[in-house]
Each structure stands twice: as structure tokens, then as C-alpha cells.
Amino acid sequence: MARLCACIAVVLLHTTGRTIYAYGTVGDLSFGVANFLNSATRWCVPVFVMISGALALSKPINDSGAFLWRRTQTILIPLIVWSGVYLGWRVRYYNEPFSWEWAGREVLATTPYYHLYFLFLIAGLYAFAQAFAAMVHSLSERQSTVLALGVTGIASLTAVTSGLGSNAFTHFIPYIGYIILGAVLAKHPWPLKYVLPGFLIAIVSATALTAMLVKIYGPMGRWGLYFHTYFSPTVIIMSISAFCILMQIPWTTKLTPLVATLAPLTLGVYLIHPMLLEWLRWQWTAYFPEMLQPALDIPVSFTLVLMLSALLVFMGRKIPLFRRAF
């Protein structure tokens, strides 16, 4: 269920992004609502990483070859397929000139498209998962938690001082703290009496601070969206809190069949939804320009993109040739 919630959150985050970047051309109310929704969903990627930690590091990894083989099929095939798809999308619809040098440079920078960095960072974390699992199971809960928070804190400081310059081989490094936290907190989640207030305070703080900084620097300035970055203090607190909350919610058993059906679709939905979101907005621009108003665009586009993405992934997974791409 945590994976489903994170998937829904990431689609909402990307849907509201257009209004965030349109600051100054949209009304204050529209920007404020979009900023709140965007701030409130910033936990999605860190929680995805923490879920990976909870699953991959739940016990020592004795056979690293078998572990890497299973994870490679899960990550590497979609990474190759969707990097090609989105590079082709950019050439076809954004008229970017193709060359193999350009394609290689974009892949090395983890930027075939803005969301595909996630596959590169997960692949990097899995490559060292055996070492992370050994650390988690040889250290006490307290030691593992301190280690993970320390690594995440260093990543946060790095983001402030110099930015997280990275490539396909190093993008995972700042997320090491999150994957270790996922393994530790899955077994020992922090009490709800602490994480619920922490979650709400982090959302309110991120919303207010982002509104202030965007007003000063604009959404494209270096500091404008700092409190939306995955290593800002607000998002670190929000992510840890969200994960602990999701681990402790007593989900009703009536949802089990639905979750079992939808959970395998989450990676595919993550991969395909930016393409559908852009396509849908092109339709709004061409035929229904009034739908680009944030009050209509955010709820309608979010709902349609989420439903269409899930449907296409569900159908694609039924076709043997396409199944491993999702």
C-alpha cells in the first residue's frame, strides 16, 4: 500500500509542477493550492527508496549474484527501454537534434527525461545492497539509524553548499541514508505521536518557506524551490514521517485484492505518466484551452493521467514482449 500511495503522490507532484513554474502568470490562490499540494507530496521519491530498503535489506544478502540478477531484470530493462523511448520523444516532439554523442551524454547525466534519474539511483543502491544489508544487520537499531541520518544530513549539507552534481554512477550516493532508514524503520517505525505532528509541520513549513523563496528568487532561481528538494530539512522530516505512518496504518483486508492488482503497476505508472501528462496538455492547448486553468487542469489532468497510466501499464503487462519494460 505504501508503494501505491507514493505512486499517486508522484503523479500529483508532477501535475502541480506546471502551476508552480507558472508563478506570476497564475493567480495567487492557484499558486498557493499548487504549492501546498506539491509540498505535501515531496516525500514520494524518498519513500520509494525507503520501500526498496525495507524489501531488499530485510535480511542479509548471502548470494549477491542471484540478488543482482533479479534486481537487474527489474531495473535495467526498463532503464534501457524508457531511456530510448524518452530520447525519441524529445527528438520527435521537441525537435532536439539526435546524435549518439548527445544520447550518451544524456544517459550518463541520468537525464533522458526528468524522472528517469530514479532508475539510475535505484540501480546504484542495489549494486551495493549486500554491503548495506551487512551494515544494517551487524549494527544495532540505534547505530543504523544514526548512520543513516548522518549520511542523509551530509547529503542535505552538500545540497546547500554546492548542489548535488552527479552522473549515472554516483547519483545514488546521497540516497544511501534513505535506503538504510527504510530497512531500519520498517522493523522499528517511530511512534505515530511523533511522526504525525512532524509530517504536518514539515508540510506547512515547506509550503510557507517555498512561497516566500519563490517570491524572492522565482521558481527558476537556485533557492526558489529549495524546500522542495529531497534533501531539504522539511522533506527529510516529511519523508521519514510519511514512511513511518504508512508502515503503521491498519489497512483493511478488504483492500488486499485491489492492492495486489495495482501494486505491480506502480513502476510502469511512474515511467509512463510524464508522457501522458504532456500529451494531455497538448490536447487541452489545441482543443480545450480553458482546461489549462489550474482549477481545472490539476484535478482533471491528475485523475485522467493516473487512470490512463494504470490502464496502459495493466494492458502492456499482459503482452509478453512488453511485460519486462514495466
Per-residue pLDDT for 326 more than 60? yes
Distance CA 58, CA 22 (A): 43
Name which residue leads in pLDDT, 59 or 280. Answer: 280
pLDDT in tens, 202-218: 999 999 999 999 999 99
Distance CA 99, CA 111 (A): 15
Name which residue leads in pLDDT, 268 or 71. Answer: 268
Transcribe 204-246 into DSSP letters: HHHHHHHHHHHHHH-TTSTTTTGGGSTTSHHHHHHHHHHHHHH
Q: Show Cβ contacts of residue 246 under 8 Å, excluding neighbours closer than 6 positions.
A: 1, 2, 5, 47
Distance CA 188, CA 217 (A): 40
Give the pLDDT band of residue 309 (cuts 50, 70, 90): very high
Give the pLDDT band of residue 252 (cuts 50, 70, 90): low
Q: What pLDDT is stored for residue 162 in this prediction?
A: 60
Domain limits, the chain = 1-41+255-326, 44-249
Q: What is the mean pLDDT of residues 301-310?
A: 97
Within 10 angstroms of residue 225's Cβ, the number of other Cβ atoms is 23
Q: What pLDDT is stored for residue 321 in this prediction?
A: 80
Q: What pLDDT is stored for residue 259 in this prediction?
A: 78
Q: What pLDDT is stored for residue 253 in this prediction?
A: 67
Cell (9 digits) for 259:
492492492
pLDDT in tens, 109-144: 999 999 999 999 999 999 999 999 999 999 999 999
